[in-house]
Amino acid sequence: MTDKIIIESGRAEKNYWRDLWRYRELFYILSWRDIKVKYKQTVLGVLWVILRPLLTMIIFTFVFGRIANMDMHSAVPYSIIVFGGLLPWQFFSNALTECSNSLIGNERLITKVYFPRLIIPASSVITSFIDFLISLLILIILFFFYRYTPPWQILLMPIFWILVFFASFGPGLYLTALNVKYRDFRYIIPFIVQFGLFISPVGYMTSKIPSKWIWVYSLNPMVGVIDCFRWCIVKGAPNPFLNYPFYISMGVIIFFLVLSVYQFRKMEKNFADLI
Amino acid sequence: MDDTIIKVEGLGKKYLIDHEREGGYTALRDVISSRAKRIFGEKRATLSTKEEFWAIKDLDFEIKRGEAVGIIGKNGAGKSTLLKVLSRITEPTLGRIELNGRVASLLEVGTGFHPELTGRENVFLNGAILGMGRSEIRRKFDEIVDFSGVERFLDTPVKRYSSGMYVRLAFAVAAFLEPEILIVDEVLAVGDAEFQKKCLGKMQQVSRGEGRTVLFVSHNMAAVKSLCSTGIVLKNGRMDFYGSNYEAVQHYQNHNQSNTSFHHEGEVNLAPGNASIRILQMDVVPQEGEILSMNSGVEFRLKVFNSLVDRNLDVTFEVANNDDIIIFHQGVILTSGGNSKIGVYEVSCVLPKLFLNAGSYNIKLIFGENQRYLIYEVSSFLSFEIVQESAGSNSSRLPGVTFPELSFKVITP
């Protein structure tokens, strides 16, 4: 059997998704490369994956809990509440940053070889996702440290891992495509990440937001995601599925994902000429 | 079964050359400001002055299964663009291509090689990027390593490799690809002579022994003649000639010699070169008289724009004849005290009369640092023809690469 490929200007390639499948090993190999390279020549190596969120969590617990007095003195240790938000947030911010720089960082590949370009940003999100999975270990350590038994919902957590993956992939994909053409986004992204931390319920619970404004607040896709993670970890946290803000966040996530894939496919053909 | 494996119809690729922007990419600021200007009624607020440039145009050809096609042409004739369009790296502006098979392209050796990773890791990485599966690489791994000859350094990061080892390993991975169509850019120009021969042999085996279709771009006419069955000559983006390999090489050599002058017009950062060095001007002129002949002497005049500060720069001229025999490879140091400055450097190089024999010659330019590190090189940058001088009664060209003035002494009985 021979594969017939037709190349024409403006032709939406029918075999794009088939190619994506054919090159599926590239997802794995590019993420593997990024992980390998990231921790080469570091003394602590993969330990950094654990150390970074751990240190942030300690700072957060101190600043928000003690100084800003956000600690509600509930039955659940404040560190665990913070960590329930910090885990998905750190994944989101890492994935967004890595993803948006992924195409520029792989310029050589783009100008010299063909493969579906979608693989590059996707594998950079996979790389961050693996870091995220490793940092989940801290959560287990925290449970033991506080002798804390999580609620049964913790078993549902893997579903929300997938959710946070797509919540990060959507905007990341859009930003990386724009970054090829307008390098300004290199400077905009750190700002989005910094600002986003404050408009997401990381150091506090969503319940702190006045209910009048909750629908605006939920336009931030990470609000729904973090609420889900909290629900899995924190006893007595509200079930996100019962409240409408969750569905607003979900809508935004899906909207971004569809828009990004569409936009990426449109811009993809010119990457080699623009980069 | 249809025997045509590649069918190209009316293919064209247009680029817009931007005369205003500097960094090579659009800044959002420019887009915003130009939109704003338009809103506020400035009629002539265009982003920049753009010029259309057809890198390739109106190409039509068909390639049969198992054919090895050499693509030849001067720098800028559109060879690389054609390969990029065929390998789906960039989209054509016009026309249509039909490919009846899996394509693998090798536009650069070691695409995706990561300096921090070991040789072994890079084989897997590079193989996957070129479209091989992990199991396929594992199966061929020993053969690849064997072909490359770097077994001993497999677990060393490739950043510690010599450039020769790097190239050998990279080519070895590509050599074991099994596509129906293999597209190869001038990757054989690297590596030592022995390895080049090995690569050519491998490619010959791929095209003749295994019946795959090979598209091959080269400045090396000898390689085109020995490897390819057909040749395409490109000139200014259009098809200049299409025929058998010998005819194509002949055609190219007859029509594209005497390219003795290059003057860049327009912005410096569009001149050939890279961010460090740009070639502004080069001329090959006779020292005496009007034409380049064996008796005229030859002078190369080169003008470059240098952007590297406080370095030791050098430039090497490599002149080869039509059989790709290098006549000389000699350079001159531009700055030695680590004090290079930004600006235009001019170099002149004189070849004495009665040195080169009649024939056609190619000049390769190599810019280096500390006589060791490559900054930029360009093959066949210019070419020139030395005309036969009638020497006595014999007016045909005498054999020999050079035609030096010798002093003879004859003792008669």
Per-residue pLDDT reduced to its tens digit, B134-150: 888 999 999 999 988 88
Name the B residues in 2-31 with CB < 8 Å from any A CB: 15, 23, 25-29, 31
Q: How is domain B53-255 classified at the architecture level of CATH? A: 3-Layer(aba) Sandwich (3.40)
Residue A211 contacts B, CB cutoff 8 Å:
no
What is the predicted pLDDT for the residue at A197?
87
Q: Is A114 on the interface with B (CB under 8 A)?
A: yes
Residue numbers in B near A9 (CB within 8 A): 91-95
pLDDT-based confidence at residue B314 (cuts at 50, 70, 90): very high
Q: Do A272 and B130 touch (CB under 8 A)?
A: no
The DSSP letter of residue B221 is: H
B232-276 tens-digit pLDDT: 998 888 888 898 888 888 788 777 655 778 888 878 888 888 888
- Phi, psi angle pair for B381, to nearest 5°: -65, -50
What is the CATH architecture of B261-386?
Distorted Sandwich (2.70)
**In chain A, which residues have their Cβ closer than 8 Å to the Cβ of B85?**
7
Task: Give the range among A84-93, A110-119, B261-270 with minimum mean pLDDT.
Answer: B261-270
Q: Tell me the mean pLDDT in the region A53-75.
A: 74
Partner-chain contact B94 A9, CB within 8 Å: yes
**Which residues are within 8 A (CB) of B242 and not within 5 positions of it... i.e. 6 or more apart?**
B61, B230, B231, B232, B233, B248
Pick from B63, B68, B71: which is nearest to B98 by CA? B63
CA angle in degrees (0–180, nearest 5) for B137-B140-B146: 125
Chain A CB within 8 Å of residue B270 CB: no
Contact B91/A2, CB-based, under 8 Å?
A: no
Q: What is the mean pLDDT of residues A193-215?
A: 85
* Domain residue ranges in chain B: 53-255, 261-386
**Among all chains, which residue has been given the structure tokens 């390739």?**
B56
ipTM passes above 0.85: no
CB contact under 8 A, B26 and A182: yes
Overall average pLDDT of the B281-287 stretch = 89
pLDDT (average), residues B337-354? 90
pLDDT at B294 (0 to 100): 83
Asked if the domains at B53-255 and B261-386 fall in one CATH topology, the answer is: no
Specify the pTM: 0.74
User: What's the CA gap between A208 and A223, in Å, rounded?
Assistant: 12
The CA distance from B50 to B28, in Å, is: 18
* Cβ contacts of B129 within 8 Å, gap of 6 or more: A26, A29, A109, A113, A115, B111, B112
Give the H or E element holding residue B165.
helix B163-175
Contact A115 B97 (CB under 8 A): no
